[in-house]
Structure 1
Amino acid sequence: MAIENNCFCELVPLYVLDLLADSKRVWVEREIQQSPELAEELAYYQTAATAIPYSAPVAPMAPDLKDRLFARLQLAPPSQRTQSENVEKPLTTIRFQDLEWQPYSVPGVEIANLYIDNTKREVTGVLRAQGGVHYPLHRHATGEEIFMLEGDLVVDGKVYGAFDYIRSEPNSSHAPHTIGGCMFFFRTSIDDEYTT
């Protein structure tokens, strides 16, 4: 029967990298329990192991990696796809008279969504509001863009009218209102947060 001569200093680096057999892993853990000062040595190796990925040189991507990945997923590589597969629709149009107005959660407000991009988490549309409407306080998850088409919109005490452009930066908040009613084009995040 062979007697194992385990050395903590030799096994602890392999323990940190999870490369030990179960019996040796148990031995290292038992040594740490019996000698708490070994926990400091373990912590040193854990810190060093954490830095390993950041110290490795950047490896160039293999030129055929994308093709191999698509083959493994059983998909045609982008270079072999037809034009219709690469582009959903070359052109999308909506005439003003064909806008589908939907009542919004704020009384006196209607929205016509033009496009919802679930990947970018953005919605593009047209909003129209009756005079006297106060929009709730909301925080923008990303930037918001408004292009005024008609009427007035009061944002942070300033009145904007037809053909004015308003951009709100990410994480900004406001509660705009209209005096006489308005209509504007907007693009904003689906993830904006509203105060009720």
Structure 2
Amino acid sequence: MNHPAPQSNSEELSNWAALSAMGALDDAEQQPVAKYSAEELAPEIAGFEDAVSAIPYSVPAIPMSPNLKDRLFQRIDATTLKASELYQLMSTPIDELIELSTQVEWQDLKGPGKFKHAVYQANTLHRELAFFVKSDQEGLFPKHHHAAGEEILVLAGDLVVDEQVYQRGDRIISAADTIHQPSTRNGCLLFCMASMDNQFVS
């Protein structure tokens, strides 16, 4: 809203002080007020700002709904706990995961090595994937960027990450917003939990 420029009379200046304290003036309107601030308006604006800041405390308190806590936890259960259900697959016994890997549909994984991957479960709400990766020979995985944290469980063979060799039963956790390119020396079978939004890096 456009307001007429302030005049030097005390009533007009008082009105502008109130508008300034409430944040009702845009940048252009604030400029003419500024020239009065150091002399006439500054004390009055400060008084109005104190009054404005006290307004919320004068509003009667609204009683909290007695079932608010229950409704809050129900909403949390409906969202975050769904993600943890997928991650609970990481606690599946290794031999059981190996057996599950024989029942999934494998596809070639693009990249420098001869790897295959197979999606086991997906959580589209949280953009998460549980999947298997395997290779029957030595090779270098495609370099990729982690959109979120990634967790890998070595089911068989070996996996080399940052020159450290991991074998059956080992877990590798990578932080979000990191890039890595693991390799295998003798082939491997892996169970992985990662984001759908991971991207290959050239």
Query: Could you tell me the TM-score, scaled by structure 1's length?
Result: 0.59
User: Which residue, out of 77, 96, 103, partners 1:98?
Assistant: 103
Query: Could you tell me the TM-score, scaled by structure 2's length?
Result: 0.57
Q: Output aligned runs, 1:177-192, within 5 Å.
A: 177-192=183-198
Cα distance in structure 2, aligned partners of 1:154 and 1:187: 17
Cα distance in structure 2, aligned partners of 1:126 and 1:161: 15
Cα distance in structure 2, aligned partners of 1:105 and 1:183: 17
**Counterpart position of 2:19:** 11
Q: CA RMSD in A?
A: 4.1
Cα distance in structure 1, aligned partners of 2:120 and 2:64: 39
Compared with structure 1, are the counterparts of its residues 38 and 161 closer, same or farther at alpha carbon in structure 2 (3 Å cutoff)? Answer: farther
May I ask how many residue pairs the two structures share in their alignment? 153
SS in 2 for 1:152: strand
Report if the CA contact (8 A) 2:101-2:132 is conserved.
Answer: no
Compared with structure 1, are the counterparts of its residues 98 and 11 closer, same or farther at alpha carbon in structure 2 (3 Å cutoff)? Answer: same
Cα distance in structure 2, aligned partners of 1:101 and 1:185: 13
User: Which deviations, in whole Å up to 9, do the C-alpha atoms of 1:71-105 show, x marking residues without a partner?
Assistant: xxxxxxx8xxxxxxxx9xxxx99944320112222
Shift, 1:39, TM fit: 8.0
Q: Which amino acid aligns with 2:35?
A: E
**Counterpart position of 1:154:** 160
User: Which residue, out of 123, 129, 138, partners 1:117?
Assistant: 123
Q: Does 2:45 correspond to 1:37?
A: no
User: Which deviations, in whole Å up to 9, do the C-alpha atoms of 1:87-126 show, x marking residues without a partner?
Assistant: 9xxxx99944320112222251111111111222211111
Cα distance in structure 2, aligned partners of 1:152 and 1:99: 21
Cα distance in structure 2, aligned partners of 1:184 and 1:134: 14
Report if the CA contact (8 A) 2:110-2:142 is conserved.
Answer: no
Q: Which stretches in structure 2 are left out of the alignment for 5+ residues? A: 1-10, 75-81, 83-88, 90-96
Larger helix share, 1 or 2? 2
**Counterpart position of 2:93:** none
Q: Does 2:131 correspond to 1:133?
A: no
Q: Which stretches in structure 1 are left out of the alignment for 5+ residues? A: 19-24, 70-77, 79-86
Shift, 1:187, TM fit: 0.5
